[in-house]
Amino acid sequence: MRTFFVILALATVLAIGGETAAAVGDGIRRNVATISQEERNRLRDAFIQLHRRFYPDGVSYWFKQDEIHDATHVHSFPPWRGIAFLPWHRELVNRLEALLREIDPTLSLHYWDWTTDPTHSPDGRGGFVNLFSPDFMGAANGPAGAPWLSAGFYNPTTPWHRDATMNPADPPRALSRAVQPGPPNLGTSDSAIIRAETYPEMRRLLEGAHNAAHGYIGGTLGDPHLAFRDPFVFLLHSNTDRLFALWQLQAGKAWRLDPEQVYGAESNTDVDPSASIYDPGILTLMDPWAGNPNNHREVHSIRPWAPPENEQGRPENLKNSKHPLVVNPPFYDTNAITGWPTITSPTPGSTLSNSYVTFRWTANGANVRQWALQVGTQGQGSTDILNRNVGTNLFWTVSSLPQDHQVYVRLWFLLGSSGIWHYVDFQYAGTHAPTIISPIPYSTLSGSTVIFQWRDNGAPVTMWWLKIGTAPGKNNICEQADSGCQYSFPSATVMTTVTTLPRMGETLYAQLGYKIGQDWHYSIFNYYAID
């Protein structure tokens, strides 16, 4: 199984007959007009599912996006400086993509190419597609209508709308567009943005084009304070980030991947706590996720990055614009590289045949200077078996591999002269690794009551436990009494009936623990709750 992380900087681009070869689930963000209608449907459905999942405060994943934007207002027009506009919105887009992947792990947050008319965009196969249709993004002019009205993204008749109640859990009253005819005129070209030498020069051009694109769509999206009520805003911002990525990845500009150099003269800027507006700099921790450590009066702390959950203290929420996960560009189909490093043998996701295995990999055309290999049994990134810089070698033999549980392999590589390491993750099963056999992993569960069954595959298991949650390692689905989950089962027990499963399409994580000798091990299996 191959897992992509946001830290990965470049994309795999394959040209076949003049088209981009789109492999669903490869982690690449593409021109949304050129993907299949089936994938557009799944992207639409995932957006809808965001409104059926909720944070602890009762605000849906989708409505939370508007609340996040309203809590900070990181804008790019006067009187705002806009210094952190691009990295802050990259973080927002990355987080939204992660939420979409909780629903459908094969999805990426694709982009609208704003050099094209969204109602008549080339589909890459000689035809055209209207992105503003009832089957995808709704109407181009007037109320958005289907699919967003019936999904509850807005309610034109309710007296309990968020602008009246000030409750982010309530729907807005309107979601409208006023798309202008023909392709937009944004005042600058994509090529001019990419040619800009410095970050301050580039961002001003890109921010200007971004602002014009908002105005071109108009309606709700044309209001900077309301724009994140419209799902199309994320297709627009994915394109904004794509151009930021293209600028970073220009040949001979490896310094643009260096957190200490990419922002140039604006590298050491910070927020002015006394200013009447919130205008963060590059060194400012990103709010609202950081919990407003500057106590700026124009930032509103929101849950779960505030009491009582207090998630603002987690390491992943304490980022500024120099954090590697912010600086490193995500995958886009226009990123300039012909391939991406990968392990070629053994086949990722396969069962290892022996206790010693030679792992082989390829650069796939990337300019890799060095490699490193980490192998462990305690989850992705663990190193209890191997943690070694292997130099320029394209293979390495690993011994003492366990045959009774999962093996996690992380392949690190140093690209070009940037001095920045990147990685891809792979997972393998030992010959005798215990596993859940029913339901089939990655399947949709049949209801709220499901029989889970597992087997030891010959491993000398003396005890089992089972946890099920909405995140890896969590047990929140099984906290209720008589749920069917237990912290321990005798070795002869190989099934249990779980009776408290949700029915809202969530991604669920079943963690099967097993004791061999004096040690506990575990494997995590993904499922989707029935909708």
| Segment 268-317, tens digit of pLDDT | 999 887 778 889 999 999 999 999 998 998 899 999 999 999 999 998 89
The answer to whether residue 5 scores a pLDDT higher than 70 is no
Give 342-429's CATH code, choosing from 3.40.50.300, 1.10.10.10, 2.60.40.10, 3.20.20.70: 2.60.40.10
Q: Which of 445, 480, 448, 485 is nearest to 464 (CA)?
A: 485
pLDDT at residue number 404? 72
What's the pLDDT tens digit per position in 480-502? Answer: 545 556 656 787 888 888 887 88
Q: Is the pLDDT of residue 185 over 60?
A: yes
Q: Which of 56-65, 172-181, 183-192, 479-488 has the lowest mean pLDDT?
A: 479-488
Instruction: Tell me if 193 sits within 8 A of 203, measured CB to CB.
Output: no
DSSP-assigned letters across all residues of 90-147: HHHHHHHHHHHHHH-TT----B--TTS-TTSEE-SSS-EE-SSSTTTT--SEEE--TT
Say if residues 249 and 255 touch (Cβ distance below 8 Å).
no
pLDDT at 258 exceeding the cut of 50: yes
| pLDDT for 337 beyond 90 | no
Both tokens of 98, joined, read 């992660």
- Those residues whose C-beta lies under 8 Å from the C-beta of residue 159, and which sit 6 or more positions away, are none
Whole-model pTM: value is 0.67
- Residue 485, pLDDT score: 66
Residue 463: phi and psi, rounded to 5, are -160, 150
**Does 342-429 match 435-528 in CATH topology?**
yes
- For the ranges 152-156, 249-253, 479-483, 506-510, the maximum mean pLDDT occurs at 152-156
| Mean pLDDT, rounded, of the chain | 86
Q: What is the pLDDT of residue 254?
A: 80
Instruction: Look at residue 420 in the predicted model and tell me its pLDDT.
Output: 66
Which regions of 270-353 does DSSP assign to beta strands (E)?
342-345
Residue spans of the domains in the chain: they are 2-327, 342-429, 435-528
Q: What is the DSSP letter of 16?
A: E
Q: 374-414: per-residue pLDDT in tens?
A: 999 877 788 999 999 999 889 999 988 887 777 889 999 88
When mean pLDDT is compared across 20-34, 148-162, 301-315, the lowest value belongs to 20-34
**Secondary structure, 3-state, 139-202:** CCEEECCCCCCCCCCCCCCCCCCHHHHCCCCCCCCCCEEECCCCCCCCCCCHHHHHHCCCHHHH
Is residue 209 within 8 A of residue 186, CB to CB? The reply is yes
The CATH architecture annotation of domain 435-528 reads Sandwich (2.60)
pLDDT of 14 over the 50 cut: no
Confidence at residue 189, expressed as pLDDT on a 0 to 100 scale: 95
- Classified as helix, coil or strand, 243 is helix
Answer yes or no: CATH 2.60.120.10 is held by domain 2-327: no
Identify the band that residue 25 occupies on the pLDDT scale cut at 50, 70 and 90. Answer: low
Please state at what angle helix 199-217 crosses helix 85-103, rounded to 10 degrees: 60
Query: Which has the higher per-residue pLDDT, 469 or 18?
Result: 469
pLDDT of 349 higher than 50: yes
Are 401 and 385 contacting, i.e. CB atoms less than 8 angstroms apart? yes
